[in-house]
Structures are given as structure tokens and as C-alpha cells.
Amino acid sequence: MMLNRQRGTLAINATLAYDTGSPTGLAVYTRELVSRLISGPDRDASIVFTSSERLQQLAGGRFAGVPEGIVPPHRLNSIKRVIWLNTEFPALLRKRNVDTVYSTVPEGLVLHHDQLRNVITLHDLLPLRYPAHYPKQRYYFGFVLPMVIRQSSAIVCDSVATRDDAIRRFGQPRCSMVVIPAGFNSALFHPADLEQVGVEMQAPYFMFVGDMRPYKNIARALSAFAGLSESNVRFIVAGNLHTRDPAPLLSLVRELGMEDRVVFTDYISDDEVARLYRGALALVFPSLWEGFGLPPLEAMASGCPVITSNVASLPEVCGDAVQYVDPTSVDSIRSAMERIIREPALREDLRGRGLERAKLFSWDRTAREVWQVLESIRG
């Protein structure tokens, strides 16, 4: 007679979650997902490795602290974290009788450890697609990630585009690759009456949300904006100006004579982003590549029409609820913006479609499906 193997502990690597500063998309993903993974009476046999006080409080006594230097935004945190994950971390797992470790990012164990299953989430391969924009991460993705994939028992991907990109670059892995889309914060991103938007937001404007990396394609969006026939419209660029050199974009705005119509907000809170979505003519998001594309989803959930690219994961996220453009064509982007300005019926149609599309996504769904993956490999 076969005896059922006794389960050990599930460890969750939430080292990317932190409570201060301006959180990255990976930090938001980690915080939102892990807070749900550790909730519920059937989640007692788990331990969260994190420095986030918020997650520590949710975990109760089921957390373990991590060295301060491996957490963003400390200098060289990513290098230190990879070293820690493959030196001290495995010993800590053995002491706690861990049988499975799940990481919310593509960082995991390089070497094989008996009786220990490794699960990662792969969000994108942007450091390999645009290595010049990721001078540090490209080495990890090029040399370390393939070893992590070989030691993984399952890989969660945000999109089919990311899964297929990984297979093209690394080959079909021995483990399963499961597509589980991310969610959004429905408490923040939801429609509201214009009276709640704020008087200062009443002038018509387009907006962009994201960082300043060139593949985000802001330069073409601004060039398209400059050619609009309607001059009583602004363009708000909401993104952290300090993560990348903004000088080329600022120079472009001056060359286009758009200083009085283009506003760079620098980093703003999610509350402020949500307010901007609700008052915008549309989100303009002509990215050349995305592993998922959270801003379009947040915009749709807020009742904001979306203009976005017809490439990578964006059609997966947006379905038929947005206005698609060729991101390499300024004329295509400009034409979509002109239609948004001139056709109120189109704006209203996209608004309704977007709200319905956003209902397909939630952090609860993401957590439920990730938990099912973890349960399936634990047996």
C-alpha cells in the first residue's frame, strides 16, 4: 500500500514587495498577489519571506524577514538578492521544512535541491528584447534565468505573448507553463462622475502612464499629438522622470513647440493616476512591446477610452474594447487621436466596452489560479 507523502511548508518569495517610495510594477504585483495568497484558513502551512510590514501583518506569524540590502531601492539590490536566493535562502527553506517555493518574479533557485519544487512568475523578456534599456537585467535574463527555468516545476506567465516569447528564446521547458493574467486594484480604478474628477482636470487631454524607456514609444505619441488639428487639447505624461534620462523627450517637446500643451507630472500616486484616467479623452499607450500592459487595463476599468498597440500582449488584455494602432506609425497614432476628439459616440462606445472587458480581470482571480498551480505541483 502506498502512503501519502506528508506535505511540507509553502514558501513565498516576496522580496520585491516594499512599503516606501514609488513601487515598481513588480512590487505592486507582489503586494497584491501575495496579500491574497496568504489569506484564508487553508493557507496556514505557508511562510512569506518579505521586508514589507504590510505583508508581515497580513501573514501574522507566518513570515520571515529578509536582509535589507536585497530589497529595492537599495544599491545593487538585484545582484545581492540573486546571490542571497542561492546561498542563504535554501538553508532557511530546509530549516522550515519547505517543499515548494514560489517567487512572484523570475528569480529562483539555480541549483537542484532534492524534495524542493520551484515555481516562478515570468512577466516578460524585455531585458533580452531591449538589452540597451536594461543594462543590468539583461545579464540575469541571458545567463541565470535559463538555469532557473531548468530547475522550475512550473512557470506562471502573465500572457500568451510572454509564454511564446520564452519558448522561442529558451525552448520548450520540461515543466508546465501556465498563462495567468494579472489583475488591477478595483478599489482605485473605477468610473466616477466628472464632478469627482476635479475642476483642474476639465480641459480636454490625452494621457500616457509608464516609464520613459524608448520602447514605450512616447516620442511617436508626442509627434502624433503635435500634428492634431485641434489645438485646445493637452497631453499629460505620468511617469517617473528619474528612472530614465528625460532630456530627449523634453527636447522633442521644445522642438515641436508643445511646451504649453505637454505636461510631465513625474511620479504620482495611484489615486492621482485614477483621477486622471476618469477625466481623460483617452489613454495613449503605443508601446512597442508589453508582457502584459497594466495601464490599459486600469484605464478601461476607470471608464477611460484606450488607444494602444496591436502587438504583443496588448490585444490579449484589451480584446475588442480599444482603438488599436500601428505603434511604428505616427500617422496611425494621430488618426486614432483625431477620431477620439471628433467622435463622442466612439468615446462612449469604447468606455462601455472597456468597463465590460475589465470585469474579466481581478487580483482575486490571479491569486486563485496561481494557488491552483501551486496545489497541483505539491500533490
- What is the average pLDDT across 221-249? 89
pLDDT attached to residue 198? 46
CA distance 374 to 366: 12
303-318 burial string, b = 16+ CB within 10 Å, else e?
bbbbbbbebbbbbbbb
The string of pLDDT tens digits covering residues 158-191 is: 999 999 999 999 999 999 999 999 999 999 999 9
The string of pLDDT tens digits covering residues 102-150 is: 999 999 999 988 889 999 999 999 999 999 999 989 999 999 999 999 9
Supply angle C-alpha 165, 356, 368, rounded to 5: 60
pLDDT attached to residue 266? 84
pLDDT attached to residue 3? 42
- Is the model's pLDDT at 376 over the cut of 70? yes
9-183+362-378 architecture in CATH?
A: 3-Layer(aba) Sandwich (3.40)
Domain limits, the chain: 9-183+362-378, 194-358
Question: Which of the following CATH numbers is that of domain 194-358: 3.40.50.300, 3.40.50.2000, 3.40.50.2300, 3.30.1540.10?
Answer: 3.40.50.2000
CA distance 210 to 243: 11
pLDDT attached to residue 1? 37
The string of pLDDT tens digits covering residues 345-354 is: 999 999 999 9
pLDDT attached to residue 367? 95
- What is the average pLDDT across 261-279? 92
- Residue 22 · residue 2 · CB < 8 Å: no
pLDDT attached to residue 283? 98
- Is the model's pLDDT at 355 over the cut of 60? yes
- Is the model's pLDDT at 201 over the cut of 80? no
Q: Do 194-358 and 9-183+362-378 have the same topology in CATH?
A: yes
Q: Which residues sit opposite 119 in a β-bridge?
A: 102, 154
CA distance 155 to 106: 9
pLDDT attached to residue 61? 82
* Averaged pLDDT score across all residues of the chain: 91
- What is the average pLDDT across 345-369? 97
The string of pLDDT tens digits covering residues 76-98 is: 899 999 999 999 999 999 999 99
